[in-house]
Each structure stands twice: as C-alpha cells, then as structure tokens.
Structure 1
Amino acid sequence: MGKHVIVGAGQVGAHLAGRLVERGHDVVVVTRSGSGPDGVEKVAADVADQARLTEVAKNAEALYNCVNPRYIRWTQDWPPMAASFLGTAEATGAVLVTLSNLYVYGPVDGPMTEDLPLAATGTKGRVRARMWRDALAAHQEGRIRMTELRGSDYYGPGSTDQAYIGEVRFVKPLLAGKRVSFLSDPSVPHAWTYLPDVAEALAIAGTDERALGRAWHVPTGPAVATLDVAERLCEIAGAPAPRVSGLPRPVFNAIGLFSPLIKELRETRYQFDKPYVLDSSAFESTFGMAPTPLDDALKTIIAAHREQAPASN
C-alpha cells in the first residue's frame, strides 16, 4: 500500500479518500484551508504553488486532481493549477489522475465515447481540452504518467449546491413536498453520474497501470429524464408526487443578465436541450466495474438525507 495525494475535499474528494483508505493506502488530502474528511492527513496548500505541492506529494504513488475552482473563474484559475499538477507529477513520479468532464466534446449527436474529437465550443470546454492535450503530450514524451476520467453531471450523497439533482437543489425540496425549478426541460433524458461511482473509478485508475495514457468515461447508467428521477425518488421515499418545472430559455437568459453563474451556464445549456447520453463501456469492460443502478443510488441518497435531516432542523 502506498501514499495517495488528493487535491480537493469536495463532493468527489471526500468519497475518494474513503475508497483509498478502505484499500489500505496512506491518504493525504490537500485543500487551501486544510480541511478534509476524518481518517486522512490534512494539508493546507495552494495548488498553484508547485513547490509546495511537490513537497506534499513527495514519494506519492498517485496524485488526484479533484479541484473545482469557482465556475466564473475557470480561465483565470485553471491554467496555473494545471501547470502545477503537471510539474508536480514530473518532479515526483506520481501518477496524475485528473477528474474532468464532458465539456471537451462540445455539442454531440448520439452517445459520447472517448474517441470523439475535442470540439468544445465554449470557453470552459476549451480550457479543459487544453489541460488534456498538455497532460497527454507530457505523458507521450515520457515526462509524466497520467490518466483522465470524465463524468457527466453528478448526483449522490454529499453532493453540493452545484449539482442539478443534488441534495440542496433537488432531493431536500422534493422530499419536503416543495416545487423544484429545473434550469432546462426536465423531460429530456440526461446522463447522471453517481458520486460514489466517480470515487471508485478514480481509485481504480490511480492503482491500475492499464488506465494510463488515455481518457476514460466514469461508469454511468442510461440517460434518464429529470422528471423520471424525481418520480422514482419520491416513490421510493414515500414522498408526495414531485412537482418539477422547467425554466424556458428566454427566462434562463434573462436571469443571466443579473447572475454571473447563470450567465456562465449559457455555454453548457446545450447539454440539457436534447438527449445527453454517455457511453462508459470501455471502462466497464476493462476494469469490471458497472454503474450503480438508479434505484439503488436513490435509496442510498434517501437514507443519507434522513440521517442528516435531524441535524439540519
């Protein structure tokens, strides 16, 4: 068992830390504040400080990029952080495992596979595509060892307010019988990636050399409409029938005039305007990992919600 360094303790980093601890690894979690889950070493550091990150990652077998800078600052924050990750991986020899997303492909007709061209049309997608190309070039030149995992929009226990069907925006209000406003048409099928599956896939990728030198899609179930997820959630929980209303594009665009976050979401709105389907069969067949069935995931989410509910009242 070896040393594994996770940068980021948010909705993915915390799950990943647990997976790696269960496997018997020594886990270090790096955040700007020094926070992190129990059972790991916690370190305060600025990820853009390559010298500091290299010091923390000394003798590490794997370095996980689970950082998520503020959505409105991707163009400013990602380049120096990405450069720091590459430099640290080269200096330490640690495998660089980057958690990315599907923005790199841009609008796509049909299921997304890892061999699609990186045809991002938005600024954030181009930032991510550049990160991938730089890391792949360093790998091909023999300077680092790396892999990248890409998932769709997250859901699951521990999800943040950034998750479209997460605890804050979706689960809590629906189980309380309240109406939920969805940022697009809730009847359009969409791929949802379960947070514990993201963590499991990252843990596999960081410990199996077959993952190196390419990108993989995190095991993700069939695309499901937001309305269908809401109905299953409420049915399983015994909650009132869900009320989910979509936000028409003109209203969405108008809100963007006053909300910097909504303004930034305009360039990725295409993901919700037509079926958004992810093909993760490559990872599933190579590593023998299947996505968690939706009903099983929802049961876990409901149990976690009910466990947390007394503390939030």
Structure 2
Amino acid sequence: MSSTDELHVIVGAGPVGTALAARLAAAGHRVRLATRSGRSTDTPGVDAVAVDASDSAALSAQAAGAAVLYNCANPGPYPVWEEKWPPLAASLLRTTEVTGAVLVTASNLYGYGVAHEPMTRHTPLDPVDHKGALRARMWEDALAAHRAGRVRTAEARSSDYIGPSLPAESGLIARYGRATLAGRTVAVFSDSDHPHTWTAIDDVAATLEALGRDERAWGSAWIVPSNPPRTVREVLSDLAEAAGATLPRVRRVPRPILRAGGLVVPLLREVNGVLYQFDGPFVADGSETTSTFGVSPTQWQTVIEQTAQAWSGPGR
C-alpha cells in the first residue's frame, strides 16, 4: 500500500494522464508528468518535465525514487503504432526494472478481439487486428518480466473513452457527439444500435491509482469499471437531451466506401480495423475491479451532463 508524499511519475499528458496527475496530487503525492514537450498543467503539485520516454536512461533519471510509473502515453495515431510503441514499451519496462517502481499501464480492449460475451480480466486475448496484437504483445512482455521477478506491473483496460476532456480527434464518439450537439447529421462508420461499453476518463484515472497502490493488482490486467452499455444512438440521444439539442440524425457510411477510402488514407484504413467493435455487442465487465479495489463508475448522468456541456462550448 502506498503512502502520501511519494513520487509518482506519469508518462503522457493526454486526458487520462492529466486526470491521474490531478488525482494523485490531490491525495498528497509528489507528481511528475513526463512528456516530450514538458508542457505544464494548471494543477498545483504537478511537476512537468520534458523527456523522451523511449530513452530509458533519461526516463530512469526522472523516475529515480518513484513508487509508481504510469504508462498513459499515446505515441501517435494508429499508423505509427508499430513503429513507436515497441521502443517506448521496452523503455518503460527497463525503467521500472532499474528504479524498482511499479509499472501501471493504461490500455484498451483491442487484445480481446471480437466480444462474443462480456469481457472480464479472465477473457483470453484473441486479437483480430494488428493493433490488438501489438497491445497483447506489450502486456505479455510486461507479464513475463513480472513473473521473472524483474518488475511489478499491472494493466488497466478500458473501452472507448467518454468525458468532457476528450478531444475532438480522440475517438469516434467524440466526433459523433460534437456533430450531434452542433445539429449536424452524424455520419457513423458502423451499426449504431449495438450495446457498447463506454469508459469515463475519470474512472480510468481512479483505476490506475488503485492498481498502483495495491499489491493484489500486480501481475494481472483489470477491466476499468464502466456504466451499463449504451448504443451509439443512445449515447448521442443522451448528449442531445442533456444539452437541450435536437435528437441525433444518424446516417451510416457504407462499409465499401470506408474500405475504398482506407486504400488512400492510412488512418481510415486503421479505423476500419477496429470497427468490428461496433458490428455487434462490445461489452466489458469491470465488476471484479469494483469488488476488489472499491472503484465504481461515475454516474452516467453526471458523465453525460459534463460531456455535453464541454462539447457544446466554443471550439467544439
């Protein structure tokens, strides 16, 4: 179990890394937020530093004495994952081995592949896309190091993020939601009527904090607790109702058009590779995380109201 005034190092200042930094600082920890740019935050008690996290020597210098090292990094859009993730993941493992910090990684559900039933931490990994296979390899490498006694590690796996701090370019629901709140027709890339799990960004941060401080978590991956599944259409309707906007007008883009676009647009090709998550139910069950660590999902209405307010504002 961790104590206050420990050093906690977070790699990545996206929505999850920023939320986690604020949470840890509020708990009284010393927090170091490591990014390439070293951009600062407005959160008191958070020290922003510039470091290339794929350089294990540089990262180890910043993480010396840390109790926990959190991997909240996003090395770039899908097309660069195969190039950028392996050296970054290897550096994080080396750093935790050198410093003795616990490594806690914010991950996703891609490694499970097609969800024939609700996913739990005991569901076997069975990726159907190279991005899922990559995330599975990263976890298997970390788990092998853990079992060999070289590191202590855990992973938090979440479904698609939702929350007020989610940028417009981060995920399909952010684009769909902003279009809905602007009164535009929403061009969806897949079926909008299958149950889907959505994970609040603050709940990812809460899970990462819990996994870092509790040794019962180490050596396993855990599903981030989330609200009951909602279809894309239901989420958009919820956002519209919260904002007092008109109900969403949804138009599905034919899959052959998306495939054709993927031949010339690399990012669209990579998005095509994860649309299986919307072609049927895609549901995650984080109840074991709740029962073990006491992390519960933020009330859905709260998430929706905060998100609708943020996405309806200037610059949406």
TM norm structure 2: 0.94
Tell me the residue number matched to 2:110: 103
User: 8 Å contact 2:115–2:283 — kept in the other structure?
Assistant: no
RMSD: 1.4
Return the match for 1:241 from 216, 230, 247.
247
Aligned residues: 308
Tell me which amino acid in the other structure corresponds to 2:28: G
How far 1:286 moved relative to its partner? 0.6
**Which one is further off, 245-254 or 1-10?**
245-254
Question: Which 5+ residue runs of structure 1 have no aligned equivalent?
Answer: none
Return the match for 2:150 from 127, 143, 146.
143
Query: Measured at CA, do residues 126 and 149 of structure 1 come closer, stay the same or move farther in structure 2, by a change above 3 Å?
Result: same
1:15 has 2:19 as partner: yes
User: 8 Å contact 1:157–1:300 — kept in the other structure?
Assistant: yes
How far 1:118 moved relative to its partner? 1.5
Tell me the residue number matched to 2:97: 90
1:252 is paired with a residue whose SS is helix
How far 1:101 moved relative to its partner? 0.8
2:180 is paired with a residue whose SS is helix
Structure 2: distance between partners of 1:145 and 1:289: 21
1:75 has 2:82 as partner: yes
1:198 has 2:168 as partner: no
Structure 2: distance between partners of 1:249 and 1:90: 45
Tell me which amino acid in the other structure corresponds to 1:268: V
Question: Which 5+ residue runs of structure 2 have no aligned equivalent?
Answer: none
1:281 has 2:284 as partner: no
Structure 1: distance between partners of 2:286 and 2:70: 20
- Could you list the per-position Cα deviations for residues 226-264 of structure 1 after superposition, in whole angstroms to 9, with x for gaps in the alignment? 111111111121111211222221121122122110101
Tell me the residue number matched to 2:265: 259
How far 1:271 moved relative to its partner? 0.6
Structure 2: distance between partners of 1:85 and 1:223: 33
Superposition pairs of residues 1-313 of structure 1, within 5 angstroms? 1=4, 2-38=6-42, 39=44, 40-70=46-76, 71-160=78-167, 161-166=169-174, 169-305=175-311, 308-309=313-314, 312=315
1:206 is paired with a residue whose SS is helix
- Could you list the per-position Cα deviations for residues 67-117 of structure 1 after superposition, in whole angstroms to 9, with x for gaps in the alignment? 112211111111111110000000001100011111111113111111122
Structure 1: distance between partners of 2:269 and 2:242: 35
Q: Kindly, what percent of the aligned residue pairs are identical? A: 48
User: 8 Å contact 2:54–2:88 — kept in the other structure?
Assistant: yes
1:12 is paired with a residue whose SS is helix
2:155 is paired with a residue whose SS is strand
